[in-house]
Amino acid sequence: MAARPRSEPFAERACPLGVCDGSGWILGPEDVARPCECREDRLKRGRGRGVASAIPPRYRGVSFDRPPVSDMARSVETEAAVEKVREFVAGLDSKLEQGRGLWLSGDTGTGKTTLAMLVSKEALNIGRSVAIYSLPKLLARIRRTYDEEPGEDSYGTFFERLTSVDLLHIDDFGAEKRSDWVLEQLYALVNERYEDERSIMLTTNLTVDKLEDQIGQRTVSRLTETCEQVALFGIDRRLENAPH
């Protein structure tokens, strides 16, 4: 393989291992280059560029050892769900390699988003690329790409990033108004990740039947095949903890 010019997105950054010249390639005899060990990690970070990947401030301290998750683990209504998520996190790297995802369902305020954020936080901690959106915000972000000139924020560029991150985390599946455009976008996104064996994590207040009515049977079928389903029960914890 011939040596490559320093034209890649991370070409001017120092190699964290102190091995290559920052290009992600090591030049050997006769100008033959081989990839540096830093290259794969840099490419993973590059896949997350341009998508919302930061844990929201409210959830940055989420942990199995702290409330509300520690309280949920002691509740009869939610202890089984917490244990399933704990098992998923324990094997997270392998799950992401296999394209396995997580489907958290239940009524409002039962802790779905909290547990999902815990998974996304751990994925980021182990160096995986993650995109985090509520479905209404994701659809609004996609719509904005239609007004952009071809390039950094184009529809194609954004869609490619959504389909290439290691974990796509979408909250509030079913919260959007059904339309042909919504059905088309969700199917295209889910199907692309399904075919590429990349993980999706979703939360929803809807049952499987109602979600099929909302986003289409084809999309739900793919999510059902690739995601482990976790149901949460109980009262709205937000209302329970609200000041009186």
pLDDT digits 0-9 by tens, 16-65: 667 676 666 566 665 556 666 655 565 555 454 566 678 999 999 999 99
Residues 85 and 21 in one domain: no
Residues 34 and 61 in one domain: no
Residues 129 and 168 in one domain: yes
Q: Return the CATH number at 107.
A: 3.40.50.300
Q: Of all helices (H) and strands (E), which one includes residue 202?
A: strand 199-204
Given a cut of 60, whether residue 208 has pLDDT beyond it is yes
Helix, strand, coil percentages for the chain (3-state, nearest 5)? 45, 15, 40
What pLDDT is recorded for position 132?
Answer: 95
Query: Measured between alpha carbons, how far is 14 from 37 in angstroms, rounded to an integer?
Result: 13
Given a cut of 90, whether residue 90 has pLDDT beyond it is yes
Residues 108 and 11 in one domain: no
Residues 65 and 159 in one domain: yes
Return the biggest CA–CA distance within the chain.
75
Q: How many domains does the chain have?
A: 2
Q: Which residue range forms the structural domain that includes residue 37? A: 1-47
Residues 68 and 29 in one domain: no
Residues 40 and 115 in one domain: no
Cβ atoms of 178 and 214 closer than 8 Å: yes
For 116-166, list the strands marked E by DSSP: 130-134
Residues 5 and 122 in one domain: no
Structure token digits, residue 108: 């409002």
Q: What order do you get walking across the sheet with 101-106 strand by strand?
A: 130-134, 167-173, 199-204, 101-106, 227-232
Residue pLDDT, tens place only, 117-169: 999 999 999 999 999 999 999 999 999 888 766 655 788 888 999 999 999 99
Residues 11 and 59 in one domain: no
Stretch 182-203: mean pLDDT: 96
224 HSE (CA, 13 A, CB side): 11
Query: Measured between alpha carbons, how far is 244 from 239 in angstroms, rounded to an integer?
Result: 10
Residues 105 and 43 in one domain: no
Residue pLDDT, tens place only, 123-135: 999 999 999 999 9
Q: Of all helices (H) and strands (E), which one includes residue 168?
A: strand 167-173
Residues 39 and 118 in one domain: no
What pLDDT is recorded for position 50?
Answer: 60
Given a cut of 50, whether residue 2 has pLDDT beyond it is no
**DSSP of 51-106:** S--SPPGGGTT--TTSTTHHHHHTSTTTHHHHHHHHHHHHTHHHHHHHT-EEEEEE
Q: Cα–Cα distances in Å, from 109 out to 29, 172, 238?
A: 61, 12, 6
Across 9-18, 23-32, 220-229, the highest mean pLDDT is recorded for 220-229
Residues 20 and 108 in one domain: no
What pLDDT is recorded for position 35?
Answer: 67
